[in-house]
């Protein structure tokens, strides 16, 4: 199955600091890859994953003080993933 995992950009996957969401995304993605699914993770560029990483911003937003409007980046990410929706069997968004 071709699966798109879409993570918040606040923390990398897995998180360097506290974050339950990104930790769960990491575990879920690792297990889906282990089950031989074709997984693409849309996340910050400093994420580490066995899946195919599509970096949506170079660095996690909590660690990058240059971003003033994080919602704009999340909107851009959702738009990019939705444009590729036909490439996936399942889109799994972990966003608010």
Domain holding 13: CATH number? Answer: 3.40.50.2000
Quick one: pLDDT at residue 27?
98
CA dist 33 and 73 (Å) reads 26
Q: Which long-range contacts (CB under 8 A, 24 or more apart) does 73-77 make?
A: 73/9, 74/8, 74/9, 77/6, 77/9, 77/42
Structural domain count, the chain = 1
Could you tell me the residue range of the domain that residue 14 belongs to?
2-93
Quick one: pLDDT at residue 7?
98
Quick one: pLDDT at residue 19?
81
pLDDT (tens, 9 = 90+) of the chain, 96 residues, equals: 999 999 999 999 999 888 899 999 999 999 999 999 999 999 999 999 999 999 999 999 988 889 989 999 999 999 999 999 999 999 999 998
CA dist 96 and 88 (Å) reads 21
């Amino acid at each position: 199955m071709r699966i798109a995992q879409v993570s918040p950009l606040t923390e990398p996957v897995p998180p360097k600091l506290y974050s339950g969401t990104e930790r769960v995304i990491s575990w879920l993605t690792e297990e889906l890859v282990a089950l031989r699914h074709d997984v693409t993770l849309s996340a910050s560029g400093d994420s580490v994953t066995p899946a195919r990483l599509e970096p949506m911003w170079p660095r996690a937003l909590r660690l990058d003080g240059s971003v003033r409007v994080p919602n704009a980046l999340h909107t851009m990410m959702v738009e990019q993933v939705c444009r590729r929706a036909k490439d996936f069997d399942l889109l799994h968004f972990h966003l608010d």
